[in-house]
């Protein structure tokens, strides 16, 4: 690979943009993938904060039985909005749109993505979708109250503003499809000389597999949403048995997208883990090909398990058995990854810096999330646990404990590359420890409550749940404090933090071979790839790394 060219006194992408405009317009009209990645970071981060605040408000309502701070109908609207924001505005675009945009071209040794203008358009479509969600909140009829799954028949009958809100999800889908299309083309067409498919970093592999899901699965949610709108406006009867329709068809269509979508959420996170572990264990990744191929396997098998969300909906028994079996099969490629990560650390010389510690938090929380998924994937236990807090605990462990944690790990890992500044290592570690405690206090009681029969999406509860609900609410406060520490640490570093070294962690993938922050077109000279992606012997040749 190129030899970690020490920064020549050249302009960074902050100082030199793609358009001649200065200031805010220089960003809003920029087609530079790095600026677009940061635009996404701003937008996605802001929505995440809103989502967290809504979560904390819900927990406050649930601190004691009976009404505390809001009306039941408000609670319905709040959990729906929390779900919609977290899913469609935070976790689906999160890692691909922010870190994928910023790092895919860098890791491939390319100047930009294949279609830079389309890339900017995707961001605008995302923003338009987000604005539509906001408008739907204030229009007459009131905010959406269906839950983030928009199940019929309720979503067709409720007086709330369903059509506009779900149309917003339709629009957001286009942003996702275009980003996917862009990434697939970039991977096929823009690799640096010498970079064969099996020399690509694993984050690229994961983003590539994700991009395929985005392109193939997202149109299905698009059509489904249009059908619900059609049903609301014209009463066609596609989902109405009285008119010859099939209500379960809605759930099929919804989950044919939304289950692969959970792999849109987790695959890029797994890619980030495969970057961070080798860097901090100073060892090449164990089972490179197995990890790369397991991403594709997850992307494909992930299509075949959607009906495990529907075991108690009236699905045929035959079908339920098939889907339960397939669900167990999809756990295999995820297991392959976990074992390979752990094997990579074995006998490594581990340097537990914040990104690595966040990854350890991930492995622990995600394993709990994944294994409780198997409890829900078994038919007998699911009948008992369906639509209880057990499910709420499970998906927070996989989505928040899994992808959310890695969003922070990625931020801590690539922060010096993106901003050229260094945050406080001490506070990042404190935040990781606090996050771990807060997370388990917030969500572990929900497993127990779910097992005891506490249904999800309920505004009130029986007195026997009071203690566990209280613990969970206290957990949500700790979580709020953790978030403040993280954001304060990162923003403080941006404004006042010390300049970071060029390659503070000793990374060897291509993004570490250019200066931090990178110049407009990423590399002073387009690199030629000669090493395997995680070959740490090249650190000696890299001029920008000084070990401490």
Partner 1 sequence: MEYEKQTEHKHHHVGYGTLILIWVALIALTSITVTIAGISLGSYTLFVALFIAAIKSSLVINIFMHIKFDEPIFKVFLIVSGFTLIVIFILTFSDFIYRG
Which one among 3, 73, 316, 537 touches partner 1, defined by CB under 8 A?
Answer: 316
Specify the residue, 271 or 278, whose C-beta has the smaller distance to ligand HEM.
271
Specify the residue, 181 or 470, whose C-beta has the smaller distance to partner 1.
181
Q: Tell me: does residue 314 bind partner 1 (CB under 8 A).
A: yes
Expressed in angstroms, the distance from the first to the final Cα of the chain is 23
The helix/strand/coil state of 237 is: coil
Q: Of 133-141, 307-315, 353-361, 441-449, which segment contacts partner 1 by CB under 8 A?
A: 307-315
Q: What residues numbered 282-301 form the site for partner 1, per CB under 8 A? A: 300
Which one among 318, 346, 495, 540 touches partner 1, defined by CB under 8 A?
Answer: 318
Identify what 86 binds: partner 1, ligand HEM, none; CB under 5 to 8 Å per kind.
Answer: ligand HEM
Q: Could you give the CA distance from residue 381 to residue 177 in angstroms, rounded to a whole number?
A: 36
Q: Of 308-316, 378-386, 406-414, 426-434, which segment contacts partner 1 by CB under 8 A?
A: 308-316
Q: How many residues does the chain have?
A: 548
What's the angle, vertex CA 392, arms to CA 386 and CA 395, rounded to 5? 105
Q: How many residues bind partner 1 (CB under 8 A)?
A: 18
Q: Of 92-100, 158-166, 318-326, 486-494, which segment contacts partner 1 by CB under 8 A?
A: 318-326
**Which residues are 455's β-sheet partners?**
388
Residue 96 half-sphere exposure, CB side, CA atoms within 13 Å? 35
Q: And the tokens for 400?
A: 């928040």
Q: Are 374 and 331 in contact (CB under 8 A)?
A: yes
Q: Are 104 and 186 in contact (CB under 8 A)?
A: yes
Identify what 399 binds: ligand HEM, partner 1, none; CB under 5 to 8 Å per kind.
Answer: ligand HEM
Q: Which residues bind ligand HEM (CB under 6 A)?
A: 52, 55-56, 58-59, 79-80, 82-83, 86-87, 90-91, 147-148, 392, 396, 399-400, 404, 442, 456-458, 476, 479
CB 387 to ligand HEM: min, Å? 9
518 closest CA partner among 91, 121, 92, 109: 109
Residues 167-206, one symbol each (x = binds partner 1 by CB under 8 A, - = not), give ---------------------x------------------
Specify the residue, 14 or 303, whose C-beta has the smaller distance to partner 1.
303
CB 387 to partner 1: min, Å? 19
Q: Could you give the CA distance from residue 358 to residue 192 in angstroms, rounded to a whole number?
A: 31
Q: And the tokens for 305?
A: 């398990």
157 Cβ contact list (under 8 Å, min separation 6): none
Q: Tell me: does residue 244 bind partner 1 (CB under 8 A).
A: no
The 8 Å CB, 24+ separation contacts for 465-469 are 465/65, 466/64, 466/65, 469/62, 469/63, 469/64, 469/445
Identify what 353 binds: partner 1, ligand HEM, none; CB under 5 to 8 Å per kind.
Answer: none
Residue closest to ligand HEM, measured at CB? 55
Q: Are 102 and 34 in contact (CB under 8 A)?
A: yes
Helix 288-301 vs helix 202-234: crossing angle, to nearest 10: 10
Q: Which residues bind partner 1 (CB under 8 A)?
A: 188, 216, 246, 248, 252, 256, 300, 303-304, 307, 314-319, 322-323
């Amino acid at each position: 690979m190129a030899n970690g060219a020490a920064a020549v006194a050249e302009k960074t992408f902050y100082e030199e943009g793609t358009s001649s405009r200065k200031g805010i317009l220089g960003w809003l009209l920029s087609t530079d993938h790095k600026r677009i990645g940061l635009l996404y970071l701003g937008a996605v981060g802001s929505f995440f904060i809103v989502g967290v605040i809504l979560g904390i408000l819900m927990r406050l309502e649930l601190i004691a039985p009976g009404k505390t701070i809001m009306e039941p109908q408000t609670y319905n609207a709040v959990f729906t909005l929390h779900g919609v924001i977290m899913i469609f505005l935070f976790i689906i675009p999160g890692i691909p749109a922010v870190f994928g945009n910023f790092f895919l071209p860098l890791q491939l040794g390319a100047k930009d993505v294949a279609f830079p203008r389309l890339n900017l358009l995707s961001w605008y479509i995302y923003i338009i979708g987000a604005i539509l969600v906001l408008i739907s909140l204030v229009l007459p009829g009131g905010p959406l109250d269906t839950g983030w799954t928009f199940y019929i028949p309720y979503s067709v009958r409720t007086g709330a503003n369903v059509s506009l809100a779900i149309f917003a999800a339709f629009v957001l889908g286009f942003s996702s499809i275009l980003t996917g299309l862009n990434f697939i083309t970039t991977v096929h067409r823009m690799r640096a000389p010498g970079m064969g498919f099996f020399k690509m970093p694993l984050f690229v592999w994961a983003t590539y597999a994700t991009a395929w899901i985005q392109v193939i699965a997202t149109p299905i949610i698009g059509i489904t949403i249009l059908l619900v709108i059609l049903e609301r406006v014209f009463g066609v009867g596609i989902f109405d048995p009285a008119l010859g329709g099939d209500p379960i068809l809605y759930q099929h269509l919804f989950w044919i997208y939304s289950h692969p979508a959970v792999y849109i959420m987790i695959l890029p996170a797994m890619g980030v883990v495969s970057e961070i572990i080798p860097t901090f264990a100073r060892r090449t990744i164990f089972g490179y090909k197995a990890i790369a191929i397991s991403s594709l396997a997850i992307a494909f098998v992930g299509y075949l398990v959607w009906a495990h969300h529907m075991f108690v909906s009236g699905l045929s028994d035959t079908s339920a058995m098939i889907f339960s079996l397939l669900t167990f099969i999809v756990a295999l490629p995820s297991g392959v990854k976990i074992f390979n990560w752990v094997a990579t650390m074995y006998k490594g010389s581990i340097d537990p810096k914040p990104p690595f510690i966040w990854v350890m938090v991930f492995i622990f929380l995600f394993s709990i999330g994944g294994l409780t998924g198997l409890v829900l994937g078994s038919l007998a236990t699911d009948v008992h646990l369906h639509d209880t807090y057990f499910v709420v605990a499970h998906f927070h462990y996989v989505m928040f404990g899994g992808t959310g944690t890695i969003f922070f790990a990625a931020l801590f890992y690539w922060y010096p590359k993106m901003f050229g500044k260094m945050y406080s290592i001490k506070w990042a570690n404190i935040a990781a420890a606090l996050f771990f405690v807060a997370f388990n206090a917030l969500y572990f009681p929900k497993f127990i409550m779910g097992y005891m029969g506490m249904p999800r999406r309920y505004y009130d509860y029986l007195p026997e749940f009071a203690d566990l609900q209280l613990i969970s609410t206290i957990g949500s406060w700790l979580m709020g404090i953790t978030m403040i520490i993280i954001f304060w640490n990162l923003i403080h570093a941006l404004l006042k933090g010390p300049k970071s070294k060029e390659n503070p962690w000793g990374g060897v993938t291509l993004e570490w071979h250019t200066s931090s922050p990178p110049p407009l077109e990423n590399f002073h000279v387009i690199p030629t790839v000669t090493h395997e992606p995680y070959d740490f012997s090249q650190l000696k040749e890299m001029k920008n790394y000084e070990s401490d």
